[in-house]
Amino acid sequence: MQIIITGGAGFLGARLARTLLAQGSLSLAGAAARPIERITLVDRAAPPADLTADARIKAITGDLNDQLSAQADATPWREADAIFHLAAAVSGECEADFDLGMRSNFAATHALLERVRALNTRPVLVFASSLAVFGDSPEQPLPKVIEDHTLPTPQTSYGIQKFIGEQLVADFTRKGFVRGRSVRLMTVSVRPGKPNGAASGFFSGMIREPLAGLRAACPVPDETPVAVASPARTIEGIIRAAEASDAQWGPRTALNLPSLPTTVGEMAAALERVAGKAATALLDRTPDPAIMRIVKTWPGRIETARAKALGLAADDSFEAVIREYVRENPDAVKLPGVA
């Protein structure tokens, strides 16, 4: 089996690749599991060294739109049985730079779909969408609980671009060009590594940086709701989307992945239970109106009946999520007394 992961050098892309390599095989769309022969990682950056050391990994470095052009080598796309499309510009970047978002999120997704349509290979394609397709506004307030049938009402460029991507995947699937599955990712926390340009980045930073003994921004009020998922649960949902049969998957509309409903204040309290008051003392509570304008439009409580029917579940607690991060990233934890 041949697999492509766009955004393959990023945090989620690399973690997905490691998980698939460890599995060794994959069942696509309900078929029998087949051995994974090659995973091609497409990204602007080179993949981590542990991945490039595996003979099953191939890296293609460069702009995704360029890699999808008519002049680029079509072989990886022609041979792909499955494509995980994770590459994207993130929320804060898209709000600050409209053209970047349109090129990275809309144009690249459209170009990818057109590329595989022209090749007539009909791969399974998993598109990483976002809970940002749901947005609250005075004219069209969100319901208290988002369900699988709730109409998306995005309030940011990023959310709109992701919703357009969902609709493109649905229509290319309807026409038989791909076997598409769009999954709406929740706020992924705790992400290791350096901060990115996402408006949601502080949901990881407010945990990651204090555990490293560093100050961290917490730019929204404690009562701000958030729907979170650990990296492990997120990757589990992405893979399950590829595995599900057409009958199990159901309608072509995007699937909301399971989420743990919490608040910023509850996240800080969980951090204190794990690492003590020394950790929460490192939180800078200075409000950031720009971040708040984006985050306050996102839903905090999401019901995921379709995902549950596929055997997916949310994290047990945010404290458990933090402890999972500590176990997986011991070298990143510098604050004394964290076990």
pLDDT in tens, the chain (339 residues): 999 999 999 999 999 999 999 999 999 999 999 999 999 999 999 999 999 999 999 999 999 999 999 899 999 999 999 999 999 998 889 999 999 999 999 999 999 999 999 999 999 999 999 999 999 999 999 999 999 999 999 999 999 999 999 999 999 999 999 999 999 999 999 999 887 767 788 999 999 999 999 999 999 999 999 999 999 999 999 999 999 999 999 999 999 999 999 999 999 999 999 999 999 999 999 999 989 888 888 888 999 999 999 999 999 999 999 999 999 999 999 998 887
Half-sphere exposure of residue 194: CA atoms within 13 angstroms, side-chain side: 3
Rounded to a whole number of angstroms, the distance between the first and last alpha carbons of the chain is 41
CA distance 319 to 339: 13
Residues 190 and 321 sit within 8 Å (Cβ to Cβ): yes
Helices (H), 120-257: 157-174, 202-211, 231-243, 246-249
Angle at which helices 202-211 and 264-275 cross, to 10°: 20
> Is residue 320 classed as helix, strand or coil in its secondary structure?
helix
Q: What strands, in cross-sheet order, belong to the sheet with 179-185?
A: 57-61, 38-43, 2-6, 82-85, 124-130, 179-185, 255-256
Query: Who contacts 200 (Cβ-Cβ below 8 Å, separation ≥6)?
Result: 91, 187, 226, 295
Counting Cα atoms < 13 Å in the Cβ hemisphere of 2 gives 11
Tokens of 329: 């990233």
Instruction: Specify whether the CB–CB gap between 237 and 177 falls below 8 A.
Output: no
Judge residue 100's burial from the number of C-beta atoms within 10 Å of its C-beta, 0-12 exposed, 13-18 middle, 19 or more buried: middle
Q: CA torsion sign, 234 to 240 to 242 to 245?
A: negative
pLDDT the model gives residue 274: 96
Residues with Cβ < 8 Å from 311, sequence gap 6 or more?
A: 240
Q: Is 325 noted as a catalytic residue in this protein?
A: no
List 42's β-bridge partners, or say none: 6, 60
Alpha carbons 116 and 81: distance in angstroms, whole number:
11
- CA dist 207 and 215 (Å) reads 10
Domain 2-186+229-256 has what CATH class?
alpha beta
| Element containing residue 100 per DSSP (H, E) | helix 98-101
Catalytically annotated residue among 127, 158, 177, 202:
158
Looking at residue 263, the DSSP 8-state letter turns out to be E
Give the alpha-carbon dihedral of 233, 238, 241, 242, to 10 degrees: -130
Q: Which amino acid is at 191?
A: R
Tokens of residue 125, six digits: 């394609």
- Identify the pLDDT of residue 294: 87
Q: In which residue are the tokens 């579940």 written?
A: 313
Q: Which pLDDT value is given to residue 270?
A: 97
Running DSSP on this structure, what letter comes out for residue 260? E
> Helix H segments across 120-156?
none
pLDDT value of residue 195 = 78
Alpha-carbon gap, residue 231 to 197, rounded angstroms: 18
